[in-house]
């Protein structure tokens, strides 16, 4: 079966989650991704805290699947020469270093585009390649702070609620990078040239705030944390604790859904007060909290999901993996590992009717494909071993 990005070759210099997520997307869709790793990087080191052995973690590591791995010490001239050889035959390079690092290593866009004018070169950083924050270090929590997302998350009067690193790292970073790369590849069909893709995660967070910023620019009203319509500030769009100490989410923004909810809860008197404020809003919240505490989460879901009400179970990750809808959509993939048997990974979210993506290989061990890649470039086994002894490759 043909894959949508079949024939596209990618060199992945990235390390932390946003870059590998980007190249996971490209790899899932058929690109040949070669991960260029430095010597002794210990990619899985943080997982040691989970007491999971490297083989098992590698088997379940979706971020690095569908990739090959070579180890190059780009601080050495022979390794840079190998990188230049590789760069002449690929379509995309992805890197996630701080601005200026790839220039010092001699593998920046300007250098590579001289060798390969068709290259699409993506740099993925916290704040982009220019501006007063371009060299400021950071992580997801910092990018969602400056992008305005963190400030609106949490309960009224409480400190901001820190989410998992999904907003900046994965959505604003990795996913935006994949979109930018795909757009540049399409543009190349018309222009014949590649281009530089500059992705700043702070920029991406701001773009994700488009709807809220539009409302602010139009009204001048700043949403208060926990009091906005979409951050749990109204009874029709909130979470409620249930009898079994779990939570259920309600998202009945449309008046007909709200009416259905009120009828299902036996509180038709609340129907005219969907957007009530002050004491009335507090009264509805309190009544809903008492009502939802009378049944378990799954009992409420079973009951409310039958009556055209926007309702969802608040899952733990363990529960998510068992959900029938996600299973049906193949969002939890079960793969045959050569030594571990059946292993699970996250599935592929982009569903294409004619050219669907696929999981074709597990995450490689660092340097697993060094010999394979160098042999394809014309290096002999003897020369590869010499380079390995010299610390050029691994």
- What number of CA atoms fall less than 13 Å from residue 373's CA on the CB side? 28
Q: How many residues does the chain have?
A: 394
CA distances (Å), origin 355, targets 117, 169, 352: 28, 27, 6
**From 139, 273, 337, 365, active-site residue:** 139
Task: Read off the DSSP letter of residue 174.
Answer: I
The C-alpha atoms of residue 187 and residue 245 are separated, in whole angstroms, by 52
Residue 49 CB: number of other CB atoms within 10 A? 7
CA distances (Å), origin 296, targets 58, 93, 240, 260: 37, 50, 11, 20
Residue with tokens 């950071």: 138
**From 28, 91, 140, 169, active-site residue:** 169
Q: Is 169 a known active-site residue?
A: yes
CA distances (Å), origin 135, targets 18, 99, 127: 18, 6, 8
Residue 235: CB partners within 8 Å, gap ≥ 6?
A: 250, 270, 274, 281, 284, 285, 288
What SS3 class is residue 358? coil
Residue 108 CB: number of other CB atoms within 10 A? 19
Whole-angstrom distance between the N-terminal and C-terminal Cα of the chain? 34
Residue 23: CB partners within 8 Å, gap ≥ 6?
A: 10, 12, 14, 31, 33, 35, 67, 94
CA–CA–CA angle 325, 330, 334 (5° rounding): 125
Cβ(245)–Cβ(295) below 8 Å? no
Cβ(158)–Cβ(65) below 8 Å? no
The C-alpha atoms of residue 334 and residue 336 are separated, in whole angstroms, by 7
- What number of CA atoms fall less than 13 Å from residue 371's CA on the CB side? 7
Query: In terms of Cα–Cα distance, which of 129, 125, 115 is closest to 194?
Result: 115
Q: Is 298 a known active-site residue?
A: no
Active site residues per annotation: 139, 169
């Amino acid at each position: 079966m043909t894959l949508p990005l079949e024939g596209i070759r990618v060199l992945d210099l990235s390390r932390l989650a946003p870059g590998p997520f980007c190249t996971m997307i490209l790899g899932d869709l058929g690109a040949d991704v070669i991960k260029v790793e430095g010597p002794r990087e210990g990619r899985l080191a943080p997982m040691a805290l989970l007491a999971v052995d490297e083989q098992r973690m590698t088997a379940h590591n979706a971020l690095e699947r569908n990739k090959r791995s070579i180890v190059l010490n780009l601080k050495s001239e022979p390794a840079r020469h190998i990188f230049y050889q590789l760069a002449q035959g690929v379509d995309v390079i992805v890197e996630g270093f701080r601005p200026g690092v790839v220039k010092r290593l001699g593998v920046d866009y300007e250098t590579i585009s001289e060798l390969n004018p068709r290259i699409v070169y993506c740099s993925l950083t916290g704040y982009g390649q220019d501006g007063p924050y371009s060299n400021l270090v950071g992580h997801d929590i910092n990018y969602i702070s400056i992008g305005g997302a963190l400030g609106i998350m949490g309960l009224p009067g409480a400190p901001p609620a820190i989410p998992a690193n999904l907003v900046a790292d994965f959505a604003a970073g990795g996913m935006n990078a994949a979109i930018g790369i795909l757009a540049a590849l399409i543009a190349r069909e018309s222009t014949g040239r590649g281009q530089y893709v500059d992705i700043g995660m702070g920029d991406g967070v701001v773009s994700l705030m488009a709807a809220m910023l539009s409302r602010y620019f139009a009204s001048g009203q700043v949403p208060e944390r926990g009091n906005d319509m979409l951050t749990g500030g109204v009874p029709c769009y909130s979470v409620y604790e249930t009898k079994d100490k779990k939570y259920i989410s309600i998202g009945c923004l449309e008046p007909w859904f709200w009416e259905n909810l009120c009828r299902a809860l036996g509180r038709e008197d609340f129907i005219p007060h969907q957007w009530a404020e002050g004491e009335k809003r507090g009264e509805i919240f309190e009544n809903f909290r008492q009502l939802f505490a009378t049944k378990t989460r799954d009992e409420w879901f079973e009951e409310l999901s039958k009556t055209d009400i926007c309702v969802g179970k608040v899952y733990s990750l363990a529960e998510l993996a068992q959900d029938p809808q996600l299973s049906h959509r193949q969002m939890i993939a079960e793969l045959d590992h050569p030594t571990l048997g059946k292993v699970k990974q996250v599935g592929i979210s982009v569903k294409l009717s004619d050219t669907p993506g696929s999981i074709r290989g597990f995450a490689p061990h660092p340097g697993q494909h060094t010999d394979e890649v160098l042999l394809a470039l014309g290096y002999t086994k003897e020369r590869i071993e010499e380079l390995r002894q010299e610390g050029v490759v691994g």
